[in-house]
């Protein structure tokens, strides 16, 4: 274990890593918060359909063909919140295509407002629901990187089966990552950090790249802070950052 249990309000004993949680690809939690502003409702209605991945159609053999222009790399971010990190990747890498999944309507609307202002729609595809069906739709070994940043920690023991990191979702992530590609994870919740590390280290498809403690105490190069991270820091929680290589 690397996390300090005293920093976490919920510190029950971890279950065995071989535990098979029942998570049938469902999103748990609210799908909508405050009422959307007029402009946000408009971009959901007008802009999302053009960027949405159609899971009723076969996935392209070359996932880069999903985009409106040529891209050399494709990343996916699961649960992108307000889209701060996702948009920063598009801004700093002109050859990158990004697939983003976010079931929370307000977060999707915030991203779409920013995309409308900044562009990048030809290098972005979106899924407004749980990531699991999208992962199942993607072809094998198609992604160069997968991000899971500040996922819902579901701190109560009876809700641990709702956590996104489970053995079955790690199987899915491993299937769609190219050999040598990375699964990048960040969280401010000590118990979920330990949970993720236990599960990923038990999975034969991944290797933890850290060599010193500083490797998970500081963000990776190019990190763009999110509103969730800023909230965690204000509330006194210390984030951890992990890079796992697909073998």
- On the 0-12 / 13-18 / 19+ scale of CB atoms within 10 A, 205 is middle
**Residue of 152, 168, 171, 194 with catalytic role:** 152
Q: What is the DSSP string of 80-149?
A: -TTSHHHHHHHHH-TTEEEEEE---HHHHHHHHHHHHHH--GGGEEEE-S-HHHHHHHSPTT-EEEEEEE
Q: What is the 3-state secondary structure (H, E, C) of 10-72?
A: CCCCCCCCCCCCCCCCCCCCCCCCCCCCHHHHHHHHHCHHHHECCCCCCCCCCHHHHCCCCCC
**Is 188 annotated in the active site?**
no
Question: Where in the sequence numbering do the catalytic residues fall?
Answer: 152
């Amino acid at each position: 274990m690397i996390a300090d249990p005293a920093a976490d309000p919920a510190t029950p004993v971890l279950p065995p890593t071989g535990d098979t949680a029942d998570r049938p690809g469902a999103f748990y939690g609210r799908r909508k918060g405050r009422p959307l502003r007029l402009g946000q409702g408009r971009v959901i209605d007008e802009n999302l359909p053009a960027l949405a991945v159609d899971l009723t159609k076969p996935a392209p053999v070359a996932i880069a063909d999903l985009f409106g222009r040529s891209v050399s790399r494709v990343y996916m971010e699961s649960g992108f919140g307000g889209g701060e990190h996702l948009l920063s990747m598009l801004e700093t890498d002109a050859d990158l295509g990004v697939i983003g999944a976010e079931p929370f309507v307000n977060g999707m609307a915030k991203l779409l407002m920013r995309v409308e202002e900044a562009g990048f729609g030809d290098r972005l595809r979106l899924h407004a629901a749980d990531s699991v069906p999208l992962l199942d739709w993607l072809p094998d070994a198609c992604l160069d990187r997968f991000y899971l940043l500040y996922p819902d920690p579901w701190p109560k023991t009876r809700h641990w089966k709702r956590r996104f990191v489970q053995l079955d979702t790690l199987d899915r992530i491993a299937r769609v990552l190219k050999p040598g590609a990375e699964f990048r994870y960040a969280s401010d919740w000590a118990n979920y950090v330990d949970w993720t590390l236990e599960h990923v280290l038990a999975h034969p498809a991944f290797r933890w790249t850290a060599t010193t403690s500083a490797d998970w105490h500081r963000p990776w190069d190019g990190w763009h802070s999110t509103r969730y991270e800023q909230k965690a820091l204000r509330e006194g929680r210390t984030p951890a950052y992990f890079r796992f290589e697909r073998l």
